[in-house]
Amino acid sequence: MSQSRESTAAGPGESVYREYIRDVRIVEYTTGETSPGAESDETRYRFEAPLHTEVTFEDPDLAGLYADVYFDVNGFREEGTGDVGVPPEVVQAGKDTLAAYLLTQPHTTKEWVASFYGTTHPKIDRYVRWVSDRAEEIRATARERGVE
């Protein structure tokens, strides 16, 4: 399982929300802005990995799913894919990984992904579970082999 802990390794006003192997982590921070109807700063979750473009999420579960996709395909780079492109490693990994990746994209819903695949919500949930299970197995095996 991934580790969750506070750390000063993040920048000021930031904390490590979840830390993984290979210098991959999710950092929690506040935006310093408020949205209409909000009473305080907005909390965001930034995915960080070596040589990876900054990707930010409003939902920590989506940030975690993004990390799972990252580990499921042994890393990928968003840079150069454009605003709506998909990294080749994700496309080549199969429909479950692509479905999980698509769910992490802005303005994409489970309804849209299910429609894209011509399937149901429970099937999309299974795809996500498979990706998360594989990612956790990959991380556990790496830790057993001394990879940090």
Q: Can you give the residue range of the structural domain that contains 26?
A: 14-144
Q: What is the mean pLDDT of residues 114-129?
A: 97
The structure's pTM equals: 0.82
- The pLDDT confidence band at residue 62, using thresholds 50, 70 and 90, is very high
Residues contacting residue 15 through CB under 8 Å, at least 6 positions apart: 6, 7, 27, 28, 29
What is the pLDDT, as a whole number, of residue 37? 58
Q: Could you tell me if residue 9 is inside a domain?
A: no
Q: Could you tell me if residue 32 is inside a domain?
A: yes
Rounded-to-10 torsion of CA 98, 139, 25, 90: -20
- In DSSP terms, which residues pair with 29 in a beta bridge? 14, 44
Q: Could you tell me if residue 1 is inside a domain?
A: no
**pLDDT reading at 111 higher than 70:** yes
Q: Could you tell me if residue 6 is inside a domain?
A: no
**Which residue in the block uniquely carries the two structure tokens 């996709």?**
69
- In DSSP terms, which residues pair with 16 in a beta bridge? 27
Q: Could you tell me if residue 97 is inside a domain?
A: yes
Q: What is the mean pLDDT of residues 21-38?
A: 81
> At 16, is the secondary structure helix, strand, or coil?
strand
Comparing CA positions, the residue from 30, 25, 32 lying closest to residue 14 is 30
| Sequence-ordered strand ranges (E) for 3-148 | 14-19, 25-30, 43-48, 55-57
**pLDDT reading at 46 higher than 90:** yes
Q: Could you tell me if residue 72 is inside a domain?
A: yes
The count of domains in the chain is: 1
How many secondary structure helices (H) and strands (E) does the chain include?
5, 4
**pLDDT reading at 35 higher than 60:** no
Q: Could you tell me if residue 95 is inside a domain?
A: yes
Q: Could you tell me if residue 51 is inside a domain?
A: yes
